[in-house]
Chain A
Amino acid sequence: EAQVTQNPRYLITVTGKKLTVTCSQNMNHEYMSWYRQDPGLGLRQIYYSMNVEVTDKGDVPEGYKVSRKEKRNFPLILESPSPNQTSLYFCASSRDAYEQYFGPGTRLTVT
């Protein structure tokens, strides 16, 4: 089954404790993105990748890092999480500009 998986689905952590949210897709897609969704602000892109070893900033990259060492994986790293990074995070992948596949989401709470 074609899918994008994210782990963990839920995470509660404390300020400053480094964390990684994993994202994996099994469709051999070139494009992958990370978004965050906050009430009243819609979906905002954090980082994207157009292929292995090619990443770039989206609209809200501050406080986040990503890497793309393999085509299928695109982890999101928060080196020193802060409460304003409490959000619902989605990973997405696509082969082209038409149809993007989204993961199930990771709900992160930073206290």
Chain B
Amino acid sequence: EDKVVQSPLSLVVHEGDTVTLNCSYEVTNFRSLLWYKQEKKAPTFLFMLTSSGIEKKSGRLSSILDKKELFSILNITATQTGDSAIYLCAVNQGAQKLVFGQGTRLTINP
């Protein structure tokens, strides 16, 4: 069965800390891996990764994919309270079908 596993499920840190969120996957077909941020409402797109070893960066967020070891990480540096959210990892298996992980609930305390 195709699966995407995220860890940790929950993380609480202080403002200014750096966090690393993990996503591992086992799927029959892999096309790309996507990261989403979900605050109170709908998930919003962060990154799409298709190639190993190429870091995607947006401000304090960055992500990288390892297709050999079948995982991705999402890093957030100098965290702020506004980074508090659920971070979702999803694998596109082709034909646009996304399989989501269960998410990591990140809480940033001031």
Q: A and B: partners?
A: no
Measured CB to CB, the residues of B under 8 A from A are: none
Enumerate chain A interface residues (CB-CB to B < 8 A): none
